[in-house]
Amino acid sequence: MLYFALFLHFYQPPTQFPQITKKIAQESYEKILKIIYYQTGGRLTVNISASLTEQLEALGLGRIIDGFSVLAEEGRIEFVGSAAYHPLLPRIPRSEMVRQIKLNEEINRKYFSSFAPRGFFPPEMAYSPEVGEVVERLGYKWIILDESALPGYHSGGENIIYQKKNSNLTVFIRNKKLSLAIAFSQI
């Protein structure tokens, strides 16, 4: 049996021009919500950074927040945790990692009543063993990583789910080739 997990990452930097965020919201986020809303089967795993959530609210785009809320309450999307303002986690002190992750949870819980992430998306998929330790200590059950985080891994292999050694944290490896093809409209 073949299992396919679709993970979508929604982020805009806090310094993004408002007109750009509005354009992206109209051309991408609203269309994705509409597609998900009218689909009868399947689920999506979604990461929405707190910086984007705050921008959507500030720009009067609460309908997008509401759309994701409804779909999450219906069990059609699963929210994933991250860091609020998209820092490269391995490059910041542990205390700031924890602060950014908790802040992301706090802000998103304010807007999404069913925000209870079990999985974690490190910004830019930047990873270090310390990131894994922090994520697990904060109660996350799984993390999605790029294949570069797993020495010796070759894309296209059958094993894309791993258990972190001496840990309860499950590791999902994205298919980089497929991910980039989708991101750059090659599919």
Q: Does 67 fall in a domain?
A: yes
The token pair at 37 is: 């809303």
CATH of the domain at 178: 3.20.110.20
Stretch 142-170: mean pLDDT, rounded?
A: 74
Whole-angstrom distance, CA of residue 41 vs CA of residue 110? 28
2 part of a folded domain? no
The larger pLDDT score, comparing residue 165 to residue 19, is at 19
Q: 165: number of CA atoms within 13 Å, CB side?
A: 2
What is the pLDDT, as a whole number, of residue 2? 57
How high is the pLDDT of residue 70? 94
Number of Cβ atoms within 10 Å of the Cβ of 184: 8
CA of 93: how far to CAs of 78, 97, 100, 101, 174, in Å? Answer: 29, 6, 11, 13, 26
The single residue listed with the structure tokens 């109209």 is 26
* Structural domain contains residue 11: yes
Domain count, the chain: 1
Residue 146: domain span: 7-183
Residue 67 has a pLDDT of 95
The single residue listed with the structure tokens 């994705």 is 32
Residues contacting residue 182 through CB under 8 Å, at least 6 positions apart: none
- Rounded-to-integer distance, Cα 50 and Cα 9, Å: 12
For 12-47, write each residue's pLDDT tens digit: 999 999 999 999 999 999 999 999 888 877 788 999
Is there a domain that residue 1 lies in?
no
Global confidence as pTM: 0.89
Q: Read off the pLDDT band of 184 (50, 70, 90).
A: confident
Output the CA torsion 120→147→5→114 (10° steps).
10
Report which residue type is found at 19.
Q
Q: What percent of the chain has pLDDT over 70?
A: 88
Residue-wise pLDDT tens digits, 50-101: 999 999 999 999 999 999 999 999 999 999 999 999 999 999 999 999 999 9
